[in-house]
Chain A
Amino acid sequence: LAKTTQPISMDSYEGQEVNITCSHNNIATNDYITWYQQFPSQGPRFIIQGYKTKVTNEVASLFIPADRKSSTLSLPRVSLSDTAVYYCLVGGLSSNTGKLIFGQGTTLQVKP
């Protein structure tokens, strides 16, 4: 499974747009890119998934360049409740199991 690299931490203020970039240089052809969010004392929660270009849902947008060696999670107008750890993962049929490999994640701190 492709290894991912993302910043350890980020700070932002309420109302700002936050972009978290993840590097995955060894992504395989069949791999999808998935982001999870984890609040303290809770299990991770699925945010968004994509394969290429751009994906948008009610929570976030995911931008994936043509070479797919990186991806950017965009959170519009963050609030204090968006303070959490955000994990970038890649995986796909090559794994055969759906096993997720979580890195350290990015701890986002939203300030008032």
Chain B
Amino acid sequence: GAGVSQSPSNKVTEKGKDVELRCDPISGHTALYWYRQRLGQGLEFLIYFQGNSAPDKSGLPSDRFSAERTGESVSTLTIQRTQQEDSAVYLCASSLRPSAGSYEQYFGPGTRLTVT
């Protein structure tokens, strides 16, 4: 079946512009996650959705970052007034509802964001 898809695959934007990144999770996966990965670094958690609610927004770096999810499907991550430090690969993952012993998250290919 289809995996997690993300669009666009690459995005180059000017500093100060807004960008919107999209994630389509695996059908039936109720949990959805956004991570950020800077060049040569590990993944940095941003936000988690269970259904369309976000019980954990602790990783959003600033109020310029927001995310929403429609039902148990597509999610969008919006970055307003982009800054150069926002340049990174933004990864989306989905999973079944987290439970004891089940942390198999399926990742998409990511969106590479470059802010010039």
Interface, chain A (partner B; CB < 8 A): 30, 32, 34, 41-46, 49, 51, 87, 89, 91-93, 95-105
Q: Is B55 an interface residue (CB 8 A)?
A: yes
Contact status of A44 and B98, CB under 8 A, knowing A97-B55, A98-B31, A98-B48 = no
* A-B contact number at CB 8 A: 77
Beta-carbon contacts of B1-21 to A below 8 Å, as 1s and 0s? 000100000000000000000
Secondary structure at the B interface, as helix, strand, loop or mixed, is strand
Contacts of B101 on A, CB cut-off 8 Å?
32, 49, 51, 92
Contact B55 A96 (CB under 8 A): yes
Secondary structure at the A interface, as helix, strand, loop or mixed, is loop
Interface, chain B (partner A; CB < 8 A): 4, 31, 33, 35, 41-45, 48, 50, 55-56, 59, 91, 93, 95, 98-110
In the assembled complex, the Cα of A42 lies from the Cα of B107 at a distance in Å of 8
In the assembled complex, the Cα of A89 lies from the Cα of B35 at a distance in Å of 15
Contact A34 B55 (CB under 8 A): no
Contact status of A34 and B110, CB under 8 A, knowing A99-B45, A104-B42 = no
The residue on B at minimum CB distance from A43 is B107
Query: In the complex, which of the residues A43, A92, A102 contacts B108, with contact meaning CB atoms closer than 8 Å?
Result: A43
In the assembled complex, the Cα of A103 lies from the Cα of B101 at a distance in Å of 20
Contacts of A45 on B, CB cut-off 8 Å?
107
Known A98-B95, A100-B35, A102-B45; further 20 A-B contacts with Cβ < 8 A: A32-B100, A34-B104, A41-B109, A43-B107, A44-B43, A44-B91, A49-B101, A49-B103, A92-B101, A93-B99, A96-B98, A97-B50, A98-B33, A98-B102, A98-B105, A99-B33, A99-B56, A100-B33, A102-B42, A103-B42
